[in-house]
Structure 1
Amino acid sequence: MSNQPKQLKLGAFLMSSGHHLAAWRYPDARADGGLSFDHFRQIAQTAERGKFDMIFFADGVAVRDRDRGPEVLSRSGHVVHFEPLTLLSALAVVTDRIGLAATVSTTYNEPFHLARKFASLDYLSGGRAAWNLVTSATTAEARNFSREKHMDHAPRYERAREFVEVVTKLWDSWEDDAFLRDKETGRYFDPEKLHVPNHKGEHFAVKGPLNVGRPIQGYPVIIQAGSSEDGKNLAAPTAEVIFTAQQTLADAQAFYADVKGRLAKYGRHPDQLKIMPGIFPVIGATEQEAQEKFAAIQALIHPQVGLSLLAGMLGEVDLSQYPLDGPLPEIPPTELQQSRQRLLIELAQRQNLTIRQLYEAIAGARGHWQVVGTPEQIADKLEEWFRNGAADGFNIMPPYLPGGLEEFVDHVIPVLQQRGLFRTEYEGQTLRENLGLERPTNQFIPAQPAQREPELAGTSAH
């Protein structure tokens, strides 16, 4: 274990024009950002300049709000965007150290496809890939994959557990030194170092092996983003990073203690899992300036779009029959995003919010932690959570792009660095090294001490 003081980890959670629902309308935002490589190259390089651990792209396999009608859809700024693994492969060429993380669902993908793509990204980037393991959560996605109804919550997570088992077996198909490439003997690989998974389970039958070598990191870093009971049970044996939405210090501390407390059952140490709540920071030179900036972007929310966002996050409920300035009605349990539904209902009850006030409250952060203030005030909040058992780091959600990320890098990160809370240089070449995570051993060979990444020469695109 390192004797260096513990420092927090940072991810830059990037959406096309920014996280706010009305970001694309904000004067300083890039409205066409979703389909501009130059835009994403700029913000990826900004995040790397700030020494972020990773950039992260969420994803879904459907147009958001597709079923809400053309009027609502026409006002959404998140309709079209790049497929994230394709984008990250391109960004691997124009960055050097920053991690490259993307969401890929276990519900509408197959393990072999996913294992192959992330192994390829790990090689292309020199060991910087990360997979955010999620189960899909919208009916619109189901209808793009020959289903009328979305799979129920429990079966989705059962499939996910077996999915990650198959993926790791495929990544372990080859031992690290399997490939001899001996021109004199004509032996390309050592057959004793090939392991055919031949998996047969309830959801998948996958023979293998993978037609990509074992990833540089052993496995790309595995991230998990569900905070339901099923999500926490999936994360405890598999996740190395958790992205979570927490509203208060007490809630974040309870979640942190709960999930970390589950690791021992699987022979894991608390340091093997980094918990990184999302934070939506609105930054101003003064608190008044920050509040004015927040008010300006809030004023751009169209009521139909705000209501649609809230209805979807509550489990695709119909709120159109209720007055916007009345209380939130009783919401039936959902089979979709259970933890997020519970968080929003509790937020409305705790603050006595109307429907309009609730969608305004989540239009930026979507249920994540929202902080409006000066760089010092934001650093104070991050430090409080970090030092009090609520977080190992944070997933930063800029309100608009590129400016919202530039403000964080130029003004908040220097404060964190001055306090010794964040790095001034990257610790290593790979994402695992920078996150302080061990490289996993191959499950098909006898247990051995934790490995270091193999020599990177010749593996990166640079």
Structure 2
Amino acid sequence: MRSEAVLTATVMGLGMHQGAWRFRDGDPFDHLGPGYHLENARLAEAGGLHALFLADTLDGSEERYARPSLGALDPAVVLATLAAATERIGLVATSSTSFNEPYNLARRMASLDAMSRGRAGWNAVTTFVPGAAAQFGDAPLPDHAARYARAGEFLDVVKGLWGSWDPAALVGDKGTGRYVDTDHVHALDHRGEHFAVRGPATLPPSPQGRPVIFQAGSSGPGRDLAARHADVVFTAQNTLEAAVAFRTDLRERAAALGRDPDHLLVLPGLVPVLGDTTADAQDRKEHLDRARGIGPELDKLALRVGVPVADLELDAPLPVERIRANEGFRGSHGFRDAAVELAVRRGLTVRELLAENGGGHLQVVGTPDKVADTVETWLDAGAADGFNLMIDVLPDGLAAVVDEVVPRLRKRGRFPADYVGTTLREHLGLPRPALPLPA
């Protein structure tokens, strides 16, 4: 059981809450320029957060253009800019296995890892938004099983490419003119169901060996993928009981594959809505909810649970049986299951679920001490190794975490006083992977 929490901060548009862009000071398009991202990165690094985490969006249909896109800019491009302006904080980019090629993605993430001197992470996701498929051709979004079959092979190829150079390959002898020892650079020669990739990669390992792999699937195939490949799992868990069961199951799957379960970290999403007092925090939440309105959040909930908006009566319970009966559901099983678990366990109406679901994640509305208490409780229960903080409004919500929550956790001995090393892998307490990896 981990004594110190891992904390990462997610930058999604102008904040996780759908009303953030109307609530905050500043231009509604701040997220499209470098200054905003630089401010967030410097805040997070000043607070000693382990990493900055960027989402990705391949299509605007999920948000219906009702607010700033959660990932309008390519995350790798933004994080490359931030790499030059930061020194220690990890930089995690989301990118899809459904609509990329493994060679291009492996090169892009390895380049970010090189330019940040070993601080990069890749959040490997399978795209579940149906509209995204139309950006890449006429074929519909593949079903859940097909997306994960492709993702498994995709990760095999990417890791193989990242392991195609031995550290001994780098000679750089000016006297003899020998630059690289090619005996230590290995072709991949991968031929599988989805990909044929010769390899090797174009560049050698970074100071941390390879980028840290994050993964966000919570279904059965998603858990299998995480247990085999991931270093860190980002998950939607709204109740302590479900979170304990999820982390326990994931660790058991990793152990069954011969992995050390302590080398697979679980970070549920956490939306902190902070105030100096409970009343202040509730007032902030009420103002954000009014700025949002109920329509956008209802649309998003309908998409996430796989039923029409018309089936969601605001003052009635969530139609759980209809949701579970949807065998053709192609969305995120993690978000769907977390919403159902919260609604059933708490006996919430749809209206109450919209207020408490936190965009799909655990939401804590209250003082910094209440948020610190939640972090401690989940760590001690074995429900999490830390949290991916889904900041409600940026940058002031992040500043509140850094100024008020982090010092309390440090005082309790639940958050590191400083960065442990120079690479993201060192920050997380993860070993450098053995290279080269088998083809």
Counting only pairs closer than 5 Å after superposition, residues 42-57 of structure 1 correspond to structure 2 as 42-57=39-54
The one-character-per-residue Cα deviations of 1:176-205 (angstroms, maximum 9, x if unpaired) are 121212233232211210100010111110
Equivalent residues in 2 for 1:55-454, closer than 5 Å = 55-65=52-62, 73-78=64-69, 81-315=72-306, 317-320=307-310, 323-329=313-319, 330-331=322-323, 332-333=326-327, 334-362=329-357, 365-443=358-436
Shift of residue 321 of structure 1? Answer: 6.2
Alpha-carbon distance in 2 for matches of 1:443, 1:278:
33
**Which ranges of structure 1 fall in alignment gaps of 5 or more residues?**
67-72, 446-462
Q: Deviations over 1:192-246 (max 9, x none)?
A: 1010001011111000111122233211000111111111010111111011111
TM-score when normalising by structure 1: 0.90
Distance of 1:228 and 1:182 partners within structure 2? 50
Taking the aligned partners of 2:279 and 2:304, their CA distance within structure 1 comes to 31
In the alignment, the residues of structure 2 paired with residue 92 and residue 79 of structure 1 have an alpha-carbon distance, to the nearest angstrom, of 20
Q: CA, structure 1 residues 301+424, in 2 after alignment: closer, same or farther (shift >3 Å)?
A: same
Distance in structure 2 (CA, Å) of the matches to 1:321 and 1:441: 51
Once the two structures are TM-superposed, the CA of residue 254 in structure 1 deviates from its matched residue by 0.9
Distance 1:295 1:303, change over 3 A: closer
Q: CA deviation at 1:38?
A: 0.3
- Residue identity in the other structure for 1:65: E
RMSD: 2.0
- What amino acid is the match of 1:342? D
Larger helix fraction of residues = 2
Give distance in 2, aligned partners of 1:105 and 1:357: 32
Task: Report sequence identity in percent.
Answer: 43
Asked whether the 8 Å contact 1:139–1:148 carries over to 2, the reply is: no
**3-state secondary structure, aligned to 2:8:** strand
Match in the other structure for 2:8 = 11
Distance 1:349 1:7, change over 3 A: closer
Give the aligned partner of residue 449 of structure 1: none
SS at 2:136 equivalent: coil
Partner of residue 453, structure 1: none
How many residues end up aligned between the 2 structures? 434
Distance change in 2, residues 1:438/1:417 (3 Å) = same
When structure 1 is superposed on structure 2, of 146-155 and 101-110 the one drifting more is: 146-155
Aligned partners of 1:79 and 1:88: how far apart in 2?
Answer: 15
Corresponding residue to 1:34 among 17, 31, 35:
31
Contact 1:115 1:167 in 2 (8 A): yes
Runs of 5+ unmatched residues, structure 2: none
Q: Distance in 1 between matches of 2:141 and 2:314?
A: 28
Equivalent pair of 1:29/1:401 in contact (CA under 8 Å): no
Distance apart, 1:305 and its partner CA: 1.3
The 1-side partners of 2:133 and 2:72 are apart by 19
**Deviation, structure 1 residue 17:** 0.8
Residue number in structure 2 paired with 1:20: 17
Query: Any idea what SS the aligned residue of 1:320 has?
Result: helix
Alpha carbons of 1:262 and 1:65: their partners in 2 closer, same or farther (altered >3 Å)?
Answer: closer
**Amino acid of the structure 1 residue aligned with 2:353:** L
Structure 2: which amino acid aligns with 1:349? V
1:302 Cα shift?
A: 2.6
- Using a 3 Å threshold, how does the CA distance of structure 1 residues 30 and 47 change in structure 2: closer, same or farther? farther
Q: 2:420, 2:5 → 1: CA distance?
A: 13
- Pick closer, same or farther for the CA change 1:74–1:38 going to 2, 3 Å: same
Corresponding residue SS for 1:12: strand
Q: How far did 1:327 drift?
A: 4.0
Question: CA deviation digits over 1:259-294, x for unaligned, max 9?
Answer: 111112221112111111111001111111111111
For residue 304 of structure 1, report the CA deviation from its aligned partner: 2.7
Looking at structure 2, the residues matched to 29 and 256 of structure 1 have their Cα atoms a distance apart, in angstroms, of 39
